[in-house]
Amino acid sequence: MTERPKSTGAPAHQNVTFPSGGTTAHGYLALPPSGRGPGVIVIQEWWGLTDHIADVADRLAREGFVALAPDLYGGNVAHESQEALRMMQDLPVARGVELLSGAVDHLLSLPEVTSETVGAVGFCMGGGFVLYLAAADPRVSAAVPFYGVIQGEAPDFSGLKARILGHFGELDQAIPKEAVDQLAETIERQSGITPDFRHYPADHAFFNDGRPVYHAESAARAWESTVPFLRERLG
């Protein structure tokens, strides 16, 4: 499996480069023990391409997937919430989707990737980008937003092809259940696809084991449904 870069001079966790959105993008690529498998894009929280996101990519690789976490902040990582908010706001949604579509291009071009479509798994800001990307790019066939934050208007889901498995915390004041229910209704009405949105007795960011709000039982349940969902959709 691909090891995390050490003394390369590159920002932490960057170990691949690829063309995306008219520029050279960076990211973290993790390969499964077999060397080949279905492709999954892993989309960062508003903090950046952190240890947690690289660890998620590694975990997916251990499950047999080729996992690519594109670095949407160009090597920058936030260390407090106001900085993270500013960095998130400095990344327009349309630009983020453009960069992520470039990451899909790169992932599907790799000889190690056996699937014709990709999965997308994202957290917080990245969970919202999972939905924006799936709405815009029919090559995404499995979308897994963890407590996804929609920035501004919801995307147009009329062209959605992906099945959606979403994970949300019942104690998450930033994303109340009413908002999640409304989002589910919008997706179904526009696309005809009923998302599977699941709720857990946990707060926002409950999957991140580096945060005080980590909830081990909820994280385990979410992961145990995510892996077979991706396998079923991607082969």
Residues known to be catalytic? 124, 172, 204
Answer whether 204's CB lies under 8 Å from 128's CB: no
* Distances, alpha carbon 207 to alpha carbons 14, 74, 234, in Å: 22, 24, 23
Are 107 and 68 in contact by the 8 Å Cβ rule? The answer is yes
Distance CA 28, CA 103 (A): 11
**Is the four-CA dihedral 120, 35, 208, 99 of positive or negative sign?**
negative
Listed in sequence order, the residues at least 6 apart from 182 whose beta carbon sits closer than 8 Å to its beta carbon are none
